Amino acid sequence: MTFETSEPAAPAADQPVVPVAPPPSPSVPATGAAVGRPPTSEVPLVEVEGLVKYYPIMGGFLRRHVGDVKAVDGVSFWVNRGEVLGLVGESGCGKSTLGKTLIQLTPPTAGLAKLDGEPIFGKKGKDLKKLRRRMQIIFQDPVGSLNPRMPISDIIGEGLLAQADAENRWGDRKVRDKRVGDYLDAVGLRRDYTRRYPHEFSGGQRQRIGIARALALSPDFLICDEPVSALDVSIQSQILNLLLDLRREFDLTYLFIAHNLSVVQYISDRVGVMYLGKLVELAEVEELYRRPRHPYSVALLSAVPDANPRVRKKRLVLTGDVPSPAAPPSGCHFHTRCWLYEQLGQPEVCTTADPEFRDIGDGHLVACHWAEKVPTAVVASAVPTAEVTTDTVAMPAAGIPAAPPIDAGPPTEEATASGT
């Protein structure tokens, strides 16, 4: 997709644009393929179609079902083999629920998901066990996700034991311990740490242990749910680089969830932006960060401090609070905070019709009736100009509330040994 089309200049605030009919949407792709997926013979590793996860709200004396928290509300995407798909959005927009539903920590309300062309949901017994091994998750909190009463050998070995069979012989303590050591090695920790307990490690080391635990099962697909948000800024880029190295070494594919746009830019090949349970934009990382086409993405990017201190960016302030996912606004969920809706003179279609998630060219997907009307000048003054590097990756992404910091624990002698 190119951006050279002659766009109207940003209208003055007191000069609303006369709304015109929204551009026609391309036809919906054939069933079975995630929205906008380019026609190719290669089956993506992961395909998600119309995924919905509602949490019921029970109320009243009889605890009746009175409504739903629409945490994930019809999300479709695909993840190619070997790629990192980043997922960003404000706190509470449904990122973690999406990850947990995919990995079956919570059942979906509706929708389809496939791994290697095989349906993920509804599996039981042996099939579910096999699938669990191929899809693993790393959590944000490296402290809370490791049992403090277990030594590292048991923390990592627990999953191996659950997946033991005659072929892998993980039921044999010696075989298991060797594998635990190998994966500690792979994540940059010493093999002889196996008898130590989580409290003996620093925050970065605990996250490495969490990664080793996931990798020991030889997964294909790893969901990383805010894996660096709780870590000290100086450690974040080390863990990101480790994840990139491990991807190459073990042929991994990642869904990388974060609220920090710079972190996601650094690690991702493509990026999806979520708002109130829906994906509103999805594109190649370069395309999304240079030419965002959803007003929400433009506003988020305008809030990222530029790595070049001489650049003064024009910040688009999102007015109002994020609406409740239990009662999302009608039509486009974003219309209550959308600067483009105001600039266009509040077109009715924004309040009546949920925009289709449509391909505007080269696999750039946007859910906005007016994506073609986003002024080039506004985009140019909002997007970051400098390349993201290991120095800038952990800069705070203003505008997206950060996760609360977690005490990383005292640095230990191992911190020096492993670099964290």
Residues near ligand ADP (CB under 6 A) are 55, 69, 71, 89, 91-97, 325
Number of residues that bind ligand SF4 (CB under 6 A): 12
- Report phi then psi at 233, rounded to 5: -50, -40
> Which of 78, 287, 370, 415 forms a contact with ligand SF4 (CB under 6 A)?
370
- Cβ atoms within 10 A of the Cβ of 93, count? 27
227 binds, among ligand SF4, ligand ADP, Mg ion, none (CB under 5 to 8 A by kind): none
- 343 binds Mg ion, rule: CB under 5 A: no
Number of helices followed by number of strands (H, E) in the chain? 13, 12
55 binds, among ligand SF4, ligand ADP, Mg ion, none (CB under 5 to 8 A by kind): ligand ADP
d(CA 129, CA 148): 26
Task: Return all residues near 282 (Cβ < 8 A) that are at least 6 apart.
Answer: 36, 77, 270, 271, 272, 273, 288, 357, 363, 364, 365
> Which of 76, 96, 153, 238 forms a contact with Mg ion (CB under 5 A)?
96
- 292 binds ligand SF4, rule: CB under 6 A: no
> Which of 341, 365, 395, 400 forms a contact with ligand SF4 (CB under 6 A)?
341
- 392 binds Mg ion, rule: CB under 5 A: no
Question: Directed axis angle between helix 173-186 and helix 152-162, to 10°?
Answer: 120
97 binds, among ligand SF4, Mg ion, ligand ADP, none (CB under 5 to 8 A by kind): ligand ADP
Nearer of residues 155 and 299 to ligand SF4, judged by Cβ: 299
d(CA 420, CA 341): 47
358 binds, among Mg ion, ligand SF4, ligand ADP, none (CB under 5 to 8 A by kind): none
Identify the H or E element spanning 278.
strand 278-284
Taking the complex as a whole, the smallest distance from the CB of residue 1 to ligand SF4 amounts, in Å, to 17
Contact code string over 23-62 relative to Mg ion, x by CB under 5 A: ----------------------------------------
**Ordered DSSP codes for 342-406:** HHTT--THHHHSPPP-EE-STT-EE--TTGGGS-HHHHHHHS--SPP-TTTTTS--TTSPPPPP-
User: Nearest CA to 84 among 259, 252, 260?
Assistant: 252
Task: Assign 69 to helix, strand or coil.
Answer: strand
d(CA 83, CA 270): 8
d(CA 85, CA 344): 32
Query: 72 forms bridges with which residues in the sheet?
Result: 53
d(CA 405, CA 230): 5
- 101 binds Mg ion, rule: CB under 5 A: no
Nearer of residues 69 and 244 to ligand ADP, judged by Cβ: 69
Nearer of residues 221 and 370 to ligand SF4, judged by Cβ: 370
Binding residues for ligand SF4 restricted to 299-338, rule: CB under 6 A? 332, 334-335, 338
- 366 binds ligand SF4, rule: CB under 6 A: no
Residues making contact with Mg ion (CB under 5 A): 96
Residues making contact with ligand SF4 (CB under 6 A): 295, 332, 334-335, 338, 340-341, 350, 355, 368-370
